[in-house]
Structures are given as structure tokens and as C-alpha cells.
Amino acid sequence: MTESERLAAIEDIRQTKAKYWRGIDLGDRDLVRSILAEDCVLDYVGCWTDPVTGTDHMPAMNVVLRGRESWQAQLDGPPIATVHQGHQSEIELTSEMTAQGLWYFTDRFFIPAGSPLAQLVGYGRYHDTYEKSGGRWLLKTTRITRIRVETR
């Protein structure tokens, strides 16, 4: 792989992750599914857990989704608005067809009235793997680790 091809692959992976976050924030199931590998594994266990207190602010999110079709835009219940901001990334091509990425991010959840909390702001890292299929980079696996959680 030439340096230009390597850099182009890294940029394609960045665009894939940007579409993932945009799809989540818009509640666009088709957009998110379009960037997922058919046999993806999305591990959201602990994604709302404060690493300092151990408080899990949304146990219903402790799921591992297997396969592109398992991804839904929203949990059952009142809609939660989200805003994700991806920051620096560390992307390593592990072969011409596979890669891994570490993404620092901030996400904000705006929770409907009547819930135990109104807002959650989280800081953490996405640990991802990618595979190239049909000429496109797709998200193969993801797992979130939290650094900090703030609630209101």
C-alpha cells in the first residue's frame, strides 16, 4: 500500500465514523446501518456508567448488538436527543482490508421531562475495528469506555 493509499484509507475511515455519529444524532437508522459491516458487533455495555461512582444512568443501554439489522435508532420509550462530537483519532491499518481506531469523543444526551435526570454529558473513547468490503470501509466492532460523566 502506498502512502497516498494509506492516507486515503484513513480519511475514508474518518468519514465512516462521522456518518455513524450523524446517523445516531439524527435517529437515521438507514444511515447508521449503511456504514456497519453485516456481521458487526456493537458493545454498548457500560456506556452510561460513571467510572468514578459506578452509577449506571441507563441500564437499558447495556446491550451488545450483533449484525447490521440489529441496530435501532431509538430505545423504546420517550425520544432522547443526542449530540456527538468526535475529537482526535488514532487509526492504524492492520492490513489492506482491516483497521482499528481509537476515538476520543464527547456526547450529550437531552432526556425528556419526567426522567430521573435531564441531561448527561459524557467523555470517553470508542474502540473500533473496520473492514473494507465492496470498496468501502465499514464499522466492524465498537466498544465505549468512559472517562467522565456529568449529569443534571
Give me the average pLDDT of each 10-residue run along the chain (152 residues). 97 98 94 98 95 93 94 72 96 98 97 90 98 98 97 92
Q: What is the per-residue burial (b if ≥16 Cβ within 10 Å, else e) of 29-60?
A: eeebbebbbeebbbbeebbbbbeeeeebbbee
> Cα(138)–Cα(132) distance, rounded to whole angstroms?
6
Domain 3-151, second-level architecture: Roll (3.10)
Residue 127 CB neighbours (<10 A): 15
**What pLDDT shows up at residue 73?**
65
The model's pTM: 0.94
**What pLDDT shows up at residue 114?**
86
3-state DSSP assignment of residue 57? coil
> Cα(142)–Cα(152) distance, rounded to whole angstroms?
27
Cell 481509537 locates to: 102
Q: Which of 139, 145, 140 is nearest to 17 (CA)?
A: 139
**What pLDDT shows up at residue 79?**
81
3-state DSSP assignment of residue 23? helix
Distance, C-alpha 53 to centroid of its chain: 23
List the domain boundaries for the chain.
3-151
